[in-house]
Structure 1
Amino acid sequence: MKKELEHEFVSHLEKHQNIVHKICRMYTNDQESHNDLFQEITIQLWNAYPKFRGDSKFSTWMYRVALNTAITLYRKSKKQLRTQNYDEVSFKIKADVYDDEVEKQLQLMYKAVKELNDIDKALVFLYLEDQSYREISEMLGISEVNARVKMNRIKKTLRNILNP
């Protein structure tokens, strides 16, 4: 039963790992921190997976767990993420390779987004992932109207950051 659960989890994680990579990029500044946060999110997802009831899509649930983990760790350490040692679980996940040129083009946007507060960062991330305002409100625990208003304010703030 545990092997079945593990196989199912790894399959879901491999399919949706880009979500976690994007969140890691949003909340870290270097590859080592990115890898540490990816590992910590994976651990938290695995720990929470037995409680996943399937009431929502796996990706929606994954966003919520990953964002909460990233925000919690970011707030605790501000600069350096600490991860827990979890030797019992060792998943073999094939990591996607990112195009360096695309990465360079996104750096300016990520730099601007990193200037936002934690909740606004999460909102921008979910917006860029084409999540509906209803889904965003569910994931962040705010009203749909609040999500729309905040996003409009964030867009204005980002325009000011990118075009001073």
Structure 2
Amino acid sequence: MGGKADQQRFEALWREHRGIVFKVAGVYARGAEERLDLAQEIGAQLWRSFAAFDERRAKFSTWLYRIALNVAISHLRRAGGEAVRFEPLDDAHLETIAGEPAVEPDERLDALYAFIGELDALNRALILLYLEDRSYAEIAEVLGISATNVATKINRIKTRLRGRMTAAATTGA
């Protein structure tokens, strides 16, 4: 395949799957400007790596997630590691992710985003993929862990989240 054909193929796949990039950037970056910078950094790395993409070995979305998460985790480490505080997503970002107007945010959604922001990089990636309705097998493939490990980690995260939400409901906070 030649250069122009590669570029056209990449652009078509990018248009179809770019929402994934913005979702990953939204989970790993603070503020609208940083999210856009991270999305651009991910896009550039995807293009640089595109020649190595082999559709016989992985779906494009799986390959994209793998690269996007690696770039995002590296970005997070450069920005100060896991101690980076979470900033709630703004309405414009939610519209970019969903491709449709954002609805009025509710407190439970804000609490969920805050909870996700407090997770370590691996668990943040895991829950992002889970919320995207990816199968345990696909999550395992993207993250390089077993499907059993995915199930265990997701159950632990759900338990922590349930505890947090129950405590918030009880205290009214």
Q: Give the TM interval when normalised to the shorter protein.
A: 0.7 to 0.9
> Which residue in 2 is equivalent to 1:65?
67
Corresponding residue for 1:144?
A: 147
For 1:44 and 1:161, the matched residues in 2 are separated by: 36
Give the residue type in structure 1 aligned to 2:21: V
Contact residue 123 and residue 151 of structure 1 kept, 8 A: yes
Q: Which residue number in structure 2 is paired with residue 87 of structure 1? A: none
Q: Which runs of 5+ in 2 are unaligned?
A: 85-95, 168-173
Opposite residue 66 of structure 2, the aligned amino acid is: R
- In the alignment, is residue 121 of structure 1 matched against residue 114 of structure 2? no
Aligned twin of 1:2: 3
Bigger mean CA offset, 45-54 vs 107-116 = 107-116
Corresponding position of 2:164: 161
The alpha-carbon deviation at position 161 of structure 1 amounts to 2.8
CA separation in 1, counterparts of 2:13 and 2:125? 22
1:11-40 Cα deviation digits (max 9, x unpaired): 101101111111111112211011001000
Letter of the structure 1 residue corresponding to residue 5 of structure 2: E
- With 15-24 and 108-117 compared, the bigger mean Cα shift is at 108-117
Given residue 33 of structure 1, which amino acid in structure 2 is its aligned partner? E
Partner in structure 1 of residue 38 of structure 2? 37
Deviations 1:85-138 (A, max 9, x none): xxxxxxxxxx77552326x34443222111111100011011111111111111
What root-mean-square deviation, in Å, do the aligned CA atoms of Structure 1 and Structure 2 show?
A: 1.9
Cα drift, residue 162 of structure 1: 3.1
2:62–2:141: 8 Å Cα contact kept in structure 1?
no
Paired with 1:36 and 1:163, the residues of 2 have a C-alpha distance of 36
In 1, Cα distance between the equivalents of 2:44 and 2:164? 35
Summarize the Cα distance change of 1:70–1:126 in structure 2 as closer, same or farther, 3 Å threshold. same
> Which secondary structure does the structure 1 equivalent of 2:58 belong to?
coil
8 A contact 1:113–1:158 mirrored in 2: no
Residue 141 of structure 1 deviates from its aligned partner by 1.0
Distance 2:41 2:52 in 1: 18
Percent identical pairs in the alignment equals 39
Please give the per-residue CA displacement for 1:46-89, whole angstroms capped at 9, x wherever unaligned: 0100000112110111011101110111012135xxxxxxxxxx
Match of 2:112 in 1: 109
Counterpart contact for 2:140–2:146, Cα < 8 Å:
yes
- State TM-score, norm by structure 1: 0.83
The answer to which structure has the higher helix fraction is: 2
Q: TM-score, normalised by structure 2?
A: 0.79
Distance 2:112 2:100 in 1: 16
